């Protein structure tokens, strides 16, 4: 069908990584993927809900939740039930659903490259066929994915069911010219990115989202190399401040990918946050350069540095100092 060789698939995530750091491609470290695992559980529940033929029955829904979500911790189980409820609200129970939906695969025959867009289910409506993508995160179908899908299938409508937002979004269809332009740029980027040596390392901020940090000596760590056995956790300044109040609250976003609760001000980045950030960098930089970093973690010197930075208010132990102390294994 495509000549002698099957087209090489272009993966958008890999393309981004290839451009940032060729060495980050390859088998990743064995890191937890809570978002992916949650997505799989929700997908299983949706398939069961349609397949078991009692979509209106509350008992059937409760049974599905018990069977598929009971091994999750209570917080994540709650999230899964919310996502499943959102799906049932957004999707008509009596619609006929086809779970053998084919991915949209666009093939560039000149370059022998392909780009595929996964679709979870298809629905036949009065106005035509909908190809549905189930989304449990914040981002929907990108314009590149939309271009690839619509260039492959001109008749269907691509729909994102955004469970976390309780919303259904019809993905805009680019014009044929725009679609071709978008895909041409992606395939050109791919051609440029694969030229050169795949194993060259380009460390930078993107190391923090690299899937294989434990295999790379360039991963920025304080005090020592990372071996292949090392389990690393990225702790942001915000998490550090939270350590003083609740270790779970600090750990959930880092380990389990629990989304921020914006209603509780988790997104705040006020001047206090900035002050904490600058103080953190000053202290860590001094500690890295010092022969003996111990005194820098002394609570008294941290306290006086804090009061100098925070003005003339009453002295109290800030979340930053408590968190830094906890991280360093010292109590006040």
Q: Concatenate the DSSP letters of all residues of 22-91 into one string.
A: GGG-SSPP----HHHHHHHHHHHHHHHHHHTS-TT-HHHHHHHHHHHHTTS-HHHHHHHHHHHHHHHHHS
* Buried-state track 14-31, b at ≥16 Cβ within 10 A, e below 16: ebebbebbbbbbeeebee
Nearest distance from residue 203's CB to ligand SF4, in Å?
A: 4
The residue from 104, 140, 213, 253 that contacts ligand SF4 (CB under 6 A) is 213
Supply φ then ψ for residue 98, to 5 degrees: -110, 115
Dihedral of the CA atoms 156, 161, 165, 170 (nearest 10)? 10
Applying CB under 6 A, the span of 19-27, 132-140, 175-183, 316-324 interacting with ligand SF4 comes to: 19-27
Which of 86, 207, 244, 258 is close enough to bind ligand SF4 by CB under 6 A?
207
214 binds ligand SF4 (CB under 6 A): no
Q: Which stretch binds ligand SF4 (CB under 6 A): 67-75, 214-222, 233-241, 277-285?
A: 214-222
Nearer Cβ to ligand SF4 (21/86): 21
Q: Is 29 in the site for ligand SF4 (CB under 6 A)?
A: no
Asked if 228 and 215 touch (Cβ cutoff 8 Å), the reply is yes
Residues 6+ apart with CB under 8 A from 219: 203, 207, 210, 213, 226, 232
Segment near ligand SF4 (CB under 6 A), from 41-49, 111-119, 164-172, 210-218? 210-218
Nearer to ligand SF4, 55 or 203 (CB): 203
The reply to whether 206 sits near ligand SF4 by the rule CB under 6 A is yes
- Angstrom distance (rounded) from CA 327 to CA 167: 40
Q: Is 203 among the residues that bind ligand SF4 (CB under 6 A)?
A: yes
Q: Say if CB 171 and CB 140 are below 8 A apart.
A: yes
- The reply to whether 21 sits near ligand SF4 by the rule CB under 6 A is yes
Taking the least distance from each CB to ligand SF4, the nearer of 92 and 220 is: 220
- In 3D space, the residue among 167, 174, 92, 94 whose CA is nearest the CA of residue 134 turns out to be 167
- CA dist 267 and 263 (Å) reads 9
Q: Which of 132, 210, 241, 321 binds ligand SF4 (CB under 6 A)?
A: 210
DSSP 166: T
Q: Closest distance between ligand SF4 and the C-beta of residue 33, in Å? A: 17
Helix (H, G, I), strand (E, B) or coil at 190: helix
Q: What is the 3-state secondary structure (H, E, C) of 266-327?
A: CCCCCHHHHHHHHHHHHHHHHHHHCCCCHHHHCHHHHHHHHHHHHCCCCCCCCHHHHHHHHH
Choose between 20 and 148: whose C-beta lies nearer to ligand SF4.
20
Stretch that binds ligand SF4, among 1-9, 62-70, 181-189, 213-221 (CB under 6 A): 213-221
Piece in contact with ligand SF4 (CB under 6 A), picked from 39-47, 92-100, 152-160, 209-217: 209-217
Site string for ligand SF4, 289-308 (x = CB under 6 A): --------------------
Count of residues of this chain found to bind ligand SF4 when the rule CB under 6 A is applied: 13
Chosen residue from 216, 299, 326, 327 binding ligand SF4 by CB under 6 A = 216
**Would you tell me which residues interact with ligand SF4 (CB under 6 A)?**
21, 23-24, 201, 203, 206-207, 210, 212-213, 216, 218-219
């Amino acid at each position: 069908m495509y000549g002698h060789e099957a087209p090489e698939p272009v993966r958008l995530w890999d393309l981004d990584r290839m451009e940032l750091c060729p060495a980050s491609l390859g088998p990743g470290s064995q890191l937890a993927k809570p978002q992916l695992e949650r997505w799989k559980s929700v997908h299983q529940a949706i398939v069961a809900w349609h397949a078991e033929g009692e979509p209106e029955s509350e008992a059937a829904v409760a049974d599905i939740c018990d069977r598929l979500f009971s091994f999750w911790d209570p917080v994540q189980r709650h999230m899964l039930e919310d996502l499943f409820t959102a799906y049932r609200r957004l999707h008509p129970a009596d619609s006929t659903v086809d779970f053998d939906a084919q991915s949209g695969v666009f093939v560039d025959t000149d370059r022998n490259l392909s780009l595929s867009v996964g679709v979870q289910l298809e629905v036949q409506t009065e106005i035509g066929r909908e190809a549905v993508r189930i989304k449990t995160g914040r981002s929907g179908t990108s314009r590149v994915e939309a271009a690839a899908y619509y260039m492959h299938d001109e008749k269907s409508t691509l729909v994102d069911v955004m469970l976390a937002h309780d919303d259904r979004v019809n993905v805009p269809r680019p014009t044929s010219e725009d679609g071709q332009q978008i895909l041409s740029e992606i395939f050109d980027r791919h051609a440029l990115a694969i030229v050169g040596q795949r194993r060259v390392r380009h460390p930078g901020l993107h190391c923090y989202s690299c899937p294989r940090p434990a295999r790379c000596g360039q991963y920025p760590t304080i005090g020592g190399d990372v071996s292949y056995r090392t389990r690393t956790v990225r702790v942001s300044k915000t998490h550090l401040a939270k350590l003083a109040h609740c270790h779970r609250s600090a750990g959930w976003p880092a380990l389990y990918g629990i989304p921020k609760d914006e209603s509780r001000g988790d997104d705040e980045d006020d001047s206090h946050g900035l002050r904490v950030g600058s103080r953190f960098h000053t202290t860590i930089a001094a500690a890295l350069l010092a022969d003996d970093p111990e005194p820098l973690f002394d609570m008294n010197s941290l306290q006086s540095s804090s009061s100098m930075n925070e003005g003339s208010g009453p002295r109290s132990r800030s979340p930053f100092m408590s968190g830094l102390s906890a991280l360093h294994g010292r109590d006040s």
